Amino acid sequence: MKARIGLEIHVQLTSLKTKLFCRCSADYRGAPPNTHVCPVCLGLPGALPVVNRKAVEHAIAVCLALNGEVADELVFERKHYFYPDLPKNYQITQYSKPICRGGYVEIEVRGRAKRVRIRRINLEEDPGRLVYPTGSPLTSPYSLVDYNRSGVALLEIVTEPDMEEPEEAAAFLEKLRSILEHLGVCDCGLEGAMRVDANVSVEGGERVEVKNIGSVSEVERALRYEIVRQASLLRQGGRVRRETRHWDPARKVTVPARAKEYEEDYRYMPDPNLPPVPIPAELVEKIRAQLPELPDERVKRLVSEYGIDRRTARVLVYTAKALADFFEDVVRLYPRDPQRTANYIVNDLLGWLKDEDLKPLYTRVRPEHVAKVMRMLDEGLISIRQAKELAEHIVKHGADPADLVEKLGMRRIADEERLRRVVEEVFRENPKAVRDALRKPKAVNFLVGMVMRKTRGQADPQLTRRLVEEMLEAVREGRLSLP
Ligand code: ADP
Ligand code: MG
Ligand code: ZN
C-alpha cells in the first residue's frame, strides 16, 4: 500500500539557557509549576519581547545543516488561537518569511537512498502545558496550566510529503535527531523536546493529520495504523476526509480530535513589537564555517578511521550521537579491533538499553568497562559467550566487568603453570584414557573434557588442548611416565 507522508516536527532548542523572548530560564523540566515565568512569557499587558540572539544562530545552523536557504531578514508574526496554554491568545511564530526555506535530508531504507525535501523551518515560541490531575483530560474534573514551558524557543520543521512508508518517516526522524544532536542544539531524548505531527494520505483519499506524537517508534506505529485504517475505509467504499486525529499510545489507535479544537482561522498579522531585522550574510557564512562534523561525514570517518563496516557505523551514528561518542571513547581507551568493539556495543549492549533512552549508556556504563571486556577477551580470560553474558550485567547494574567476572565465577584459567598441573593430575588419574588418546586422536577430547570438568569450565579450552597434546607427546617420547 503506497502512502504519502509529510511531517511537521517541533524541536525545542534545549541547549539555550533562556527562553526565546525573555530571560526566564528555559531549563524548566522538573521545576515547580509557574516558577520560570515573567510578564513577557505570561503575556501581561505592556511586556515587550526581545529576541534571543543565540536562538536565531541555532536556527540558522539547523537550516544550513539541512541544506536550506536562510532568509535575509528575521520576521515574526502573530498566530491567534484561543486555548488556555497560550497566555497572550496568540503565538509569536513565522508565516510570510520563515527563517529557512527549502533543503533536504538524505535517508536510506533497506539499502535504497532517497531525499526528503524540507519545505520550511519556523522559529517560534512553545506554548505552556496543560496538566490534568488524573493524567487524562477525559477523567479529570479540572485542568491546570503550567507556564514554565511558555516562551521556550522552538523550531517547526515542515517536510514535503516525500515519504511513502512508515519506515521512511522513522529513518528521516532518526537522521534529523542525529543532525540536531551533532549540532548541539537539541537533546532530543528529553521528554517533549521533539514532538511530531504526521500527515498521511493514501491514494483516493485526503490527508489526515495525526497530532503530537512523542517518539520515533510511536510515529512509525501511528502511521502504520493510520494507513491500514484509511485503506480499509476506502476499500469498503467509504471516504477519507481531511481531518485531525490524535494518537493514543496506550490503546495504539488514532482517534478523531474535536474539530473545534483546531479551527484554522489564525488571523496572522505582523508582530508590531518585533519589527523585521536583517540577517547579515556574513553572520550566515560565519555559522556555516563553524558547523561541526555532521552524521553523514561522521559515518564516513568511522569507516575510514577505524575500518568498521558501514552498516554498523550507521547504527552507531543514527541511533544517537551519544552512542557514537561512546564507541569512540572505548576505542580511544582500547584501540585493538574496533569492529569487534562496535559489534559488541551495537549487538550486545544496545539490546539491553530501553527503546530511545540512551542515557544509561553514559550514567551507568562507562567506556572503561567496555574497554576492560575487550581486553579480557584478548587475554583469553573470558570467552565470547561470557562477554555477551556480561553485557546484561554491565548495562543493568553498571558494574565493573573485572569484579563481575570474579563474582559470576567466570574467570578463566589462562595461567599455563596452573593448568599444566591440572592436566598432569588428569593424566595420572586416567592412564587408560591416555593410552587411548595416544592411538586415537579423537580420544583427546575426553582428556580435554576431564580438565574442563576439574576446573568447573574455567580452563581456557584452546590452551588446555595445547597442553594435553604437549603432554601426550611427552608420554610418547618417554619424557613422562605414567603409573
Ligand atoms: P497546511 O498549509 O494546510 O498546513 P500543507 O500543504 O502546508 O498544509 O502541509 C502540511 C503538511 O502536510 C506538510 O508536512 C506536508 O508535507 C503534508 N502534506 C501535504 N499534502 C499531503 C498529502 N497529500 N499527504 C500527506 N501529507 C501531506
Ligand atoms: Mg503546524
Ligand atoms: Zn519569561
- Give the tens place of pLDDT for each residue, 354-367: 655 666 666 678 89
Same domain flag for 59 and 163? yes
| Atom of ligand 1 at shortest range from CA of 158 | 14
Residue that wins the pLDDT comparison between 282 and 351:
282
Q: What pLDDT score does 419 carry?
A: 85
What ligand is nearest to the CA atom of residue 211? Answer: 2
Give domain status of residue 483, yes or no. no
pLDDT digits (tens, 9 = 90+) for 231-241: 999 999 999 99
Asked if the model's pLDDT at residue 261 lies above 70, the reply is no
State the total domains in the chain: 3
Same domain flag for 396 and 421? no
Give the C-alpha separation, 324 to 174, whole Å. 14
Percentage above 90 pLDDT, the chain: 71
**Probe target for ligand 1 pocket from 207, 209, 230, 262, with the most ligand atoms within 8 Å of CB:** 207
Three-state secondary structure call for residue 129: strand
Residue that wins the pLDDT comparison between 289 and 214:
289
pLDDT digits (tens, 9 = 90+) for 307-328: 999 999 999 999 889 899 999 9
pLDDT digits (tens, 9 = 90+) for 162-186: 999 999 999 999 999 999 999 999 9
Same domain flag for 200 and 243? yes
Residues near 8 by beta carbon (within 8 Å), at least 6 away in sequence: 156, 157, 158, 159, 196, 197, 199
**Probe target for ligand 1 pocket from 199, 200, 203, 242, with the most ligand atoms within 8 Å of CB:** 199
Q: Which residues surround ligand 1 with Cβ inside 6 Å?
A: 4-8, 158-161, 199-201, 207
Going from the Cα of 213 to the center of ligand 2, the distance in angstroms, rounded, reads: 13
Q: Which three cell numbers stand for residue 191?
A: 521528554
Going from the Cα of 8 to the center of ligand 2, the distance in angstroms, rounded, reads: 6
Range of the domain at 270: 3-286
In this prediction, residues 35-47 reach a mean pLDDT of 96
Q: What pLDDT score does 115 carry?
A: 98
Q: What pLDDT score does 381 carry?
A: 78
Give domain status of residue 194, yes or no. yes
Show which of 407, 436, 459 is a domain's final residue.
407
Q: Which three cell numbers stand for residue 50?
A: 526581545
Same domain flag for 66 and 95? yes
What ligand is nearest to the CA atom of residue 195? Answer: 2
Q: Which three cell numbers stand for residue 281?
A: 550574510
Q: What pLDDT score does 396 carry?
A: 81
| Atom of ligand 1 at shortest range from CA of 160 | 16
Q: What is the DSSP string of 51-117?
A: --HHHHHHHHHHHHHTT-EE-SEE--EEEE---TT-TTSEEEE-SSS-SEE--EEEEEETTEEEEEE
Mean confidence (pLDDT) of the chain: 91
Going from the Cα of 19 to the center of ligand 2, the distance in angstroms, rounded, reads: 20
Same domain flag for 273 and 359? no
Same domain flag for 330 and 445? no
Going from the Cα of 41 to the center of ligand 3, the distance in angstroms, rounded, reads: 4
Q: What pLDDT score does 411 carry?
A: 65
pLDDT confidence band for 260 (50 / 70 / 90): low
In this prediction, residues 467-481 reach a mean pLDDT of 88
CA-proximal residue: ligand 1, atom 11 (nearest): 6
Residues 399-416 as b/e (b if ≥16 CB within 10 A, e otherwise) read bbbeebbeeeebebbbee
Asked if the model's pLDDT at residue 412 lies above 80, the reply is no
| CA nearest neighbour of 162 among 119, 112, 204, 120 | 119
Same domain flag for 429 and 403? no
Q: What pLDDT score does 376 carry?
A: 87
pLDDT digits (tens, 9 = 90+) for 189-235: 888 999 999 999 999 999 999 998 989 999 999 999 999 999 999 99
Going from the Cα of 197 to the center of ligand 2, the distance in angstroms, rounded, reads: 8
Show which of 375, 407, 439 is a domain's final residue.
407
Q: What pLDDT score does 359 carry?
A: 64
Going from the Cα of 284 to the center of ligand 2, the distance in angstroms, rounded, reads: 26
Same domain flag for 256 and 306? no
In this prediction, residues 55-76 reach a mean pLDDT of 98
Asked if the model's pLDDT at residue 294 lies above 70, the reply is yes
pLDDT confidence band for 397 (50 / 70 / 90): confident
In this prediction, residues 84-91 reach a mean pLDDT of 94
Show which of 242, 265, 286 is a domain's final residue.
286
Answer positive or negative: Cα dihedral of 305, 308, 310, 316: negative
Same domain flag for 145 and 207? yes
Give the C-alpha separation, 193 to 367, whole Å. 27
Query: What values do phi and psi take at 377, rounded to 5?
Result: -65, -45
| Atom of ligand 1 at shortest range from CA of 161 | 16
What does DSSP say about strands 112-125 and 153-159: parallel, antiparallel, or unpaired? antiparallel
Going from the Cα of 188 to the center of ligand 1, the distance in angstroms, rounded, reads: 24
Percentage above 70 pLDDT, the chain: 95
Same domain flag for 104 and 136? yes
- Whole-structure pTM value: 0.85
Looking up residue 423, the CATH number of its domain turns out to be: 1.10.10.410
Same domain flag for 318 and 350? yes
Same domain flag for 77 and 158? yes
Give domain status of residue 481, yes or no. no
